[in-house]
Structure 1
């Protein structure tokens, strides 16, 4: 029997340029702003797609994008503390439904008491304690 060598693939020491990327953006008061996303572990990452079709398949047809090179995207993200770059992520979480959140908030509004009601409960509770003490004292 001949011994079999097992060697691990080393991690690449340099970043491979991805070329021009389709970078998702959102519009703001000063123009377009690159969108940053979260990794499954919660870290922030810049995202780029190698084709418009991949961007549309992942983020939908309404997502605006700009073309940036990989070094330009890294330079844009670095001052914000975003050092990770994800190219062609396979999926994304759906956008939060603001309407459903508003409905849930209205349904749970009884949990948050109005300050006047809290004050009324305190006064009513104090009056009940005084009434009980009066009955005990006589």
Structure 2
């Protein structure tokens, strides 16, 4: 391992903690918070966090409910339900769903251009 960094060295794959994240949640009662999970383009379940409320609104819409969570708290909530990937500041890639069957649940697909996708 080199102690010195040079200008042409690539960025490290694992960046530092993201800090408090704006995490999309499903609407419901105030006492119960359900973190909204997504899928990566390859189909893996992922928890999602945004570094600002503006980025969350730009991706998921101004009406999206959210809470502030640390990266470790979000991981602790998502890993037991099979979402071992954490995506920070993703962009929505799937087109809006038109006319789903009553009761059908759709999971949007996200991509993270130039952002960090962290695995546990």
Q: TM-score range by the shorter chain?
A: 0.5 to 0.7
Residue aligning to 1:16: 16
Gaps of 5+ in 2: 1-7, 102-120
Q: For residues 95 and 25 of structure 1, do their structure 2 counterparts lie closer, same or farther at Cα, with a shift above 3 Å needed?
A: farther
2:116 maps to: none
Higher RCO (CA < 8 A, seq sep 6+) = 2
What is the CA distance between 1:78 and its match in structure 2? Answer: 1.1
2:51 corresponding residue in structure 1: 50
**Which residue of the partner structure matches residue 39 of structure 2?**
38
8 Å CA contact 1:59, 1:92 repeated in 2: no
Shift of 1:81: 1.6
Q: 1:58 to 1:18 in 2, by over 3 A?
A: same
RMSD of the alignment, in Å? 2.3
Equivalence map 1:111-126=2 (5 Å): none
Whole-Å separation in 2 of the counterparts to 1:83 and 1:32: 19
Provide the residue aligned with 2:61 in structure 1. Answer: 60
- Number of positions where the alignment pairs a residue of Structure 1 with one of Structure 2: 93
Q: Secondary structure at the match of 1:31?
A: coil
Deviations, residues 78-112 of structure 1 (Å, cap 9, x unaligned): 11121100000022424423xx345xxxxxxxxxx
Tell me which protein shows more helix as a share of its residues.
Answer: 1
Gaps of 5+ in 1: 1-6, 103-138
The structure that has the greater radius of gyration is 1
Partner of 1:27: 27
- Counterpart of 1:73 in structure 2 is 74
- Aligned-partner Cα distance in 1 for 2:64–2:16: 26
